[in-house]
Amino acid sequence: MGNAKAIDAEVLPDGIRSRFVEAVNGLRMHVLEAGFEMPGQPCVLLLHGFPELAYSWRKVMVPLAEAGFHVIAPDQRGYGRTTGDTPAYDVDLAPYNMINLARDAMALLWALGHRTTAAVIGHDFGASVAAYCALIRPDVFRAVVLMSAPFSGPPEFPFDTAAAGDRESNPAGSDIFADLARLDPPRKHYHDYYSTRAADRDMTHCPQGISNFLRGYFHAKSADWAGNDPHPLAAWAAADIAVMPTYYIMERDKNMAETAAEFMPSAAEIASCAWLDQREIAFYAEEFGRTGFQGGLNWYRCRLDPAQTSELRLFSGRTIDVPSCFIAGEKDWGVFQRPGALEAMQTRACTRMLDVHLLPGAGHWVQQEQPAAVVDALTGFLSRAA
């Protein structure tokens, strides 16, 4: 990763440039930009998820720039051409926790000469970073859009336990992994799998090659796979969440590369995939072939590491009070994978939620599958939020 160069212009849509920003919270951060020709424009910051890159925003950046914004999309810590840390398994996880990822975002804004954003917009795991940006620094991140992953609030300290003499108990659902393993057939949660030492090796050195692994994985979670029929789940219990496809609730004895192989689309389906052509999948494959997946997997490890999640309890009871919006594909199981999160986001975690969009014809990769509809939703929200 140390010799990373800017992306060749012919790989990107006209109007997007690739460059590096030095000294961003200890990183040399690679960013894509649109709308940079007009100094003084308000900025929007786009934060990708897993297994994605700044490149995942390529279809919406120029339209947002044409709407009057300086559009900034970084390769986040541990991903792509951003360098400065060591995305290995045996590392201190603290740089990958939510507070430091939000610090990365703020440091990037400052380096680029912006003290505020019109909005921070995050997809998948990037939605969590965007949520904490807005939660912690609402003066800087003045609106927030969460895509595909609802935010139900920070982890909280147990409340009103002193009178009863209760001791702090384990978090609710802390043995869900054991419960999944006891099902017939036994299952495992993908967060648990992504936290294992083997996960990066399984995907980086998979028998089908990274290109076919990513093709199967992206197909499985998109609206193109006919088996996606998401709906609310009754409870955070093994039997209830096990109805989700195996890319979320995996078969216990299969890794993610083996799981993705079962969703590999046909040659005809690949040829007809307008939202992710072979040139685009080749770019993803080249990037992850060079870096591996461990940088992004370390984010998942933080989610299951009490030493990292305990830091977030500082924000117990705090809500997102800036204007907010949620966008996802109507075929995206990510909306419902944590039962009650969508409702908690709207009723408790976000006090000024202006819009909730579940877009037809899109699954998990909503800004790539239906970019025009996403741009319409974003520009409408940004206008009202301003």
- With beta carbons less than 8 A apart as the criterion, state whether 77 and 104 touch: yes
The answer on pLDDT for 173 being more than 70 is: no
The strand pairing partners of 73, in sequence order, are 32
Mean pLDDT of 121-150: 98
Query: In the predicted model, what is the mean pLDDT of the chain?
Result: 95
The answer on pLDDT for 166 being more than 70 is: no
- With beta carbons less than 8 A apart as the criterion, state whether 235 and 339 touch: yes
Question: Is 164 within a domain?
Answer: no
Question: Is 3 within a domain?
Answer: no
Q: Is the dihedral of CA 346, 347, 348, 351 positive or negative?
A: positive
Axis-axis angle for helices 98-111, 125-136 (nearest 10): 70
Domain boundary among 295, 317, 350: 295
Question: Is 262 within a domain?
Answer: yes
Same domain for 287 and 315: no
pTM of the model: 0.96
Same domain for 191 and 273: yes
Same domain for 143 and 22: yes
Structural tokens at position 244: 């989700």
Question: Is 94 within a domain?
Answer: yes
For residue 44, give the CATH number of its domain: 3.40.50.1820
Closest Cα partner for 76 from 44, 51, 43, 113? 51
The answer on pLDDT for 273 being more than 80 is: yes
The answer on pLDDT for 49 being more than 90 is: yes
Tens-digit pLDDT profile for residues 231-259: 999 999 999 999 999 999 999 999 999 99
Total number of domains constituting the chain: 2
- With beta carbons less than 8 A apart as the criterion, state whether 322 and 352 touch: yes
Same domain for 189 and 134: no
**Mean pLDDT lowest for which of 64-73, 151-160, 218-227?**
151-160
Mean pLDDT of 326-355: 97
Domain boundary among 272, 295, 318: 295
Taking the C-alpha atoms of residue 305 and residue 321, their distance in angstroms, rounded to an integer, is 28
Same domain for 275 and 180: yes
Structural tokens at position 143: 């609106």
Same domain for 147 and 213: no
- Model confidence at 39, in pLDDT bands (50, 70, 90)? confident
Note the residue count of the chain.
Answer: 386
Same domain for 187 and 136: no
The answer on pLDDT for 170 being more than 50 is: no
Domain boundary among 295, 330, 348: 295
Taking the C-alpha atoms of residue 350 and residue 329, their distance in angstroms, rounded to an integer, is 20
Structural domain boundaries, residue 216: 176-295
Same domain for 92 and 37: yes
In percent, how much of the chain has pLDDT > 70? 96
